[in-house]
């Protein structure tokens, strides 16, 4: 998704430098090209070998290579980058940046750059709260640098407070969003449901399904990457979601998912309900563990509330509602009838018969059916691509 994008990561001498190889990996995994420029002190905290292996580029520190005397041109580096990220940014480098000092390759590169520069300050709490740092952060912003403010938490000094470098995932998502910066969903509120639900039989047993939630998580990310504010109502899954624009509401049961969605039902512009919600739940949930000797002769079930139908019933004129249909027989007909019955604008059909579709795989095979009767059938593709196609389809339909 970031294929062809060139990211220059500047590392300065803070303890959080040990997290930078992971940040590099996140960009590489998305197909970006990454180069690292480090200050000499940064290399006390992270080895150049690690950084060069993960970035697949030599790590640059000095204006001149000490072995063969090659000149590392800061001007070329500055012009090469589509974006520069300085993480962690120490108080020292920050102070130099706001005064234009260029006593190392990184500072000279930043001064030569024409692209956007993200800075990620990280330092001890008292240093960060110091008046001079507050002024320097303000100056950074005035000079047009983007600042990813530090988080609060445990610091290397043993103190607890503001100063921790934001996690690589957060930095990555912010920069990625900026790079993609189509932002064509800015100002839109999107509701997504994802994952399975667990319907308890007793405190240790439940009725569930094999959904991982990956499809819905990719949909939430695809909208958030394009500027939307996303509420993701997520059933129990081992997957985690780290995205500054995704508000995750964790739930376990169909009833909890219903209640969360009901709270949001009047606020969304676009909803995509991809969760594999249990259709039935045990009528009685035992308060304590059912002992084996007691046995269970039968389990009486009752229907759960249909969240999608509920949102369809309460849909306002300017709201756009998307459902999923997982079918095994008469796929197209069943999906079309679901679209009508639940008052949807679009339905995503995935058939369990298709190889590479459904639960537990990273790919999916889908057909979009919109309320005007248009049918778009896609071949097998990664769920992230399905998500991106779905967002494009919705974009066309709401225009």
Question: Would you please indicate which residues are annotated as catalytic (active-site) residues?
Answer: 209
Distance CA 27, CA 168 (A): 10
Q: Which is nearer to ligand CTP, 37 or 254 (CB)?
A: 254
Q: Which is nearer to ligand CTP, 228 or 308 (CB)?
A: 308
Instruction: Indicate the residue whose CB is closest to ligand CTP.
Output: 307
Q: Which of 136, 166, 211, 304 binds ligand CTP (CB under 6 A)?
A: 304
Q: How far is the CB of 325 from ligand CTP (least distance, A)?
A: 5
- The label of the residue with tokens 């000094």 reads 157
- DSSP reduced 3-state for 333: helix
Instruction: Kindly write down the DSSP assignment for every residue of 260-317, as one continuous string.
Output: HHHHHTTT-SEEEE--B--SEEESS--SSPPPTTT--S---EEEPP-HHHHHHHT--T
Determine, following the binding rule CB under 6 A, whether residue 324 of this chain makes contact with ligand CTP.
yes
Helices assigned H by DSSP within 84-166: 91-99, 105-112, 125-129, 131-142
* Token duo for residue 29: 């995994």
Count of residues near ligand CTP by CB under 6 A:
15
Q: Convert residues 259-278 into a mask of x (bound to ligand CTP by CB under 6 A) and - (unbound).
A: --------------xxx-x-
Identify whether the C-beta of residue 88 lies closer than 8 Å to the C-beta of residue 10. no
Determine, following the binding rule CB under 6 A, whether residue 320 of this chain makes contact with ligand CTP.
no
Q: What are phi and psi of 125, to 5 degrees?
A: -55, -50
Determine, following the binding rule CB under 6 A, whether residue 10 of this chain makes contact with ligand CTP.
no
Residues, the chain = 399
Q: Which of 323, 336, 345, 351 binds ligand CTP (CB under 6 A)?
A: 323
The shares of helix, strand and coil residues in the chain, as percent rounded to the nearest 5, are: 35, 25, 40
Q: Which of 124, 218, 225, 306 binds ligand CTP (CB under 6 A)?
A: 306
Q: Which is nearer to ligand CTP, 90 or 211 (CB)?
A: 211
Q: Which of 279, 353, 356, 377 binds ligand CTP (CB under 6 A)?
A: 279
Q: Which residues bind ligand CTP (CB under 6 A)?
A: 193, 254, 273-275, 277, 279, 304, 306-308, 323-326
């Amino acid at each position: 998704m970031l294929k062809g994008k060139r990211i220059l990561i500047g590392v300065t001498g803070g303890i959080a430098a040990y997290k930078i190889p992971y940040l590099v990996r996140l960009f590489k995994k998305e197909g970006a090209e990454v180069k690292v420029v480090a200050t000499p002190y940064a290399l006390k905290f992270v080895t150049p070998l690690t950084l060069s292996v993960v970035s697949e580029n030599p790590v640059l520190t000095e204006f001149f290579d000490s072995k063969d005397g090659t000149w590392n041109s800061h001007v070329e580096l500055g012009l090469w980058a589509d974006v520069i990220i300085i993480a962690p940014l120490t108080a020292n480098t920050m102070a130099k940046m706001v005064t234009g000092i260029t006593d190392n390759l990184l500072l000279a590169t930043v001064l030569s750059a024409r692209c956007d520069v993200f800075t990620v300050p990280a330092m001890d709490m008292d240093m960060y709260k110091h008046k001079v740092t507050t002024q320097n952060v303000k100056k950074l912003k005035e000079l047009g640098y983007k600042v990813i403010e530090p988080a609060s938490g445990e610091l290397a000094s043993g103190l607890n407070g503001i100063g921790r470098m934001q996690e690589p995932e957060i930095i990555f998502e912010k920069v990625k969003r900026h790079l993609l910066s189509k932002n064509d969903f800015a100002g839109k509120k999107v509701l997504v449901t994802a994952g399975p639900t667990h319907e308890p039989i007793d405190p240790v047993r439940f009725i569930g399904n094999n959904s991982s939630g990956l499809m819905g998580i990719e949909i939430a990310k695809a909208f958030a990457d394009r500027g939307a504010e996303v509420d993701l109502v997520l059933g129990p899954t081992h997957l985690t979601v780290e995205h500054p624009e995704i508000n995750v509401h964790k739930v376990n049961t169909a009833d909890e998912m219903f209640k969360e969605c009901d709270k949001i039902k009047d606020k969304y512009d676009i909803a995509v309900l991809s969760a594999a919600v249990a259709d039935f739940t045990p009528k009685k949930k035992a308060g304590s563990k059912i002992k084996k000797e007691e046995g269970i002769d039968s389990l009486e079930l009752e229907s759960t509330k249909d969240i999608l139908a509920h949102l369809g019933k309460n849909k306002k004129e300017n709201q756009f509602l998307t459902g999923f249909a997982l079918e095994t027989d008469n796929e197209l007909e069943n999906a079309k009838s679901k679209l009508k019955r639940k008052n949807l604008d679009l339905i995503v059909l995935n058939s369990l018969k298709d190889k590479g579709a459904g639960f537990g795989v990273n790919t999916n095979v889908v057909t979009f059916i919109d309320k005007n009767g248009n049918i778009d059938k896609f071949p097998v593709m990664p769920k992230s691509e399905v998500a991106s196609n779905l967002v494009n389809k919705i974009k066309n339909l709401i225009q």
